Structure 1
């Protein structure tokens, strides 16, 4: 079997998402996805990767992966090179599963769980329906939809927590410190801003007590002293973890943060490749290892990151706040790894715009996700996707 063509798809409405089809002479096509800088990733795929991939056997995944991530500048980052390689890699695993007639999680080593617990990242329905991804820019607080969870955690966190629990979801992630971080460029937080950001935690604990786990997303926006100050202020509310409190470019600094608090430190979808994670694990800087398969090198690199985390006795928690194909890939990874702790999910997405784009979304019931069925990833782009007026297609083929 040989790779005969690579096609990429962008749509204006979801300007930061890029989808990829890897086509073969056996008539089997693999689906992949990445997020952010879609046009730049598209250019890298066609201008740099295609010449290296066309004509190759798509089942030689390890060899092709190494070829893609061993290029200049593609070293331990989540830059364009790694994001582009991630999309191709996910598509190759989709092909592998289709050839074998098995789900991707089986190809990754088999099913370790009957079901995996999920937490709800409290984004809104239009969080990715834009070409902006800064947290405050994408809040769209005036949106009117059934799952406007971002507006809810800022204005009625108690009611939101109660609603999630009624639906069986007992863990949620919020980021109420972002407005202060952006206003003050992460340099300081005033007493009034601290009080305002803590309010959702007070409301949640008063309404539902400790029945709800709260993950705190800090989006790499703070300097170290302020991040530590925030951690101290939140400890009485017993959050599950602090995620990305500082920029993920200094393992020693994150280790200092981790030592300063009794709450777990989670890092980080912003890291690319297992080599970056090793630097943090060697310094005891991360209690929970999170990776985004669309950024860190795809399923090939993701399973190595999960296995390495296990050698440090750290749990693995795949990231998802992007597109439907990345979400599906993360779920396959979650089911295949014995040290999976919990799977990120966004109900505003899997109950909303994901369904506009793909044929199948994972079954999530009672706070758990269940395995995808069918060969490969188990989902495809819907036929009407290819009829969109805002669709841009680019193709590289064997000449």
Structure 2
């Protein structure tokens, strides 16, 4: 796609990066077929190709408008279009640039500004955990719209977190919202890896991966989160004390795997960030190594019943990890099925379910209809956002897949 940057953007880092991406697009339109918002709304400007045209026009000198902002806001950043694109256009990077530049020029209404500030500061705050605990206490009294965002409190597994030491060690990011919303996911991860002879280390200095602030337009805040995590992990990484950094939330995993890209221009962190990204693995990527060790200990796998898997967009499109999770679970003895639209987003998409509730709910209803058609005993996924979002709309238990493996180990 031919582009001519306006003088305002020519020679700038964002302008040059966006132009390089735009020039890869051949405007074939294959991406529209797999775009969830285009399927719902049928508007070219609510699909990847249309949004690319909007960003191109803006970068070439047309003024940004509130309408431009709204069409970019409606994008889930699911990156399904990246999986479909024959030209390999990194659309997710482009839409992040476009949103940031448009937001600098188009003022949002006061309520929107306040909501977005509360999300980026509240979800990443140390106060989130006590606030969530309080919300769970009063959950029966909350209005439906708030109740959907506050998962029921789940009793901690009495087995707790393993304390044994192993020669093999891996770092794990606890995350910002996951410890408060579903604390058993991290404990289950540690127990499963412990059963395979791997010790999990969770440095206290690490926090949010940076995705929340970055996707809400706070690039500086997102980069600060990334640097803080690198600082927390680096002593163990530099000394070779850990062999990998394991992520059990695919949304965090895709972000940490891109630290090297995000911090490439920072001379103090570029090399460290690249090393961190190279060491990062989604938990499902460990399954080929875990299966031979765990399978003899999983006599209770068949008792888990029928599992319906929702592969998160951040796993299959962001990290391009497709098929490995369900294959690994089947190798462990679980019965796993995928729904008809397994490639499409469930509507969670980080903060999207708060900022675009109507579209998010439509996508959830469609996803749950396909998952329910499989008549599962349990729905499993690999990201806390998807799990919480889906559970709010159905009675079938929705769990992280590692919790199911952990439960089978406990019963075996």
Give yes or no for TM over 0.5: no
Structure with more contact order per residue of length (Cα contacts < 8 Å, sep ≥ 6)? 1
TM-score (structure 1 length as normaliser): 0.29
User: If each structure's helix is expressed as a fraction of its own residues, which one has the higher value?
Assistant: 2
User: If each structure's strand is expressed as a fraction of its own residues, which one has the higher value?
Assistant: 1
Question: Highest CA radius of gyration, 1 or 2?
Answer: 2
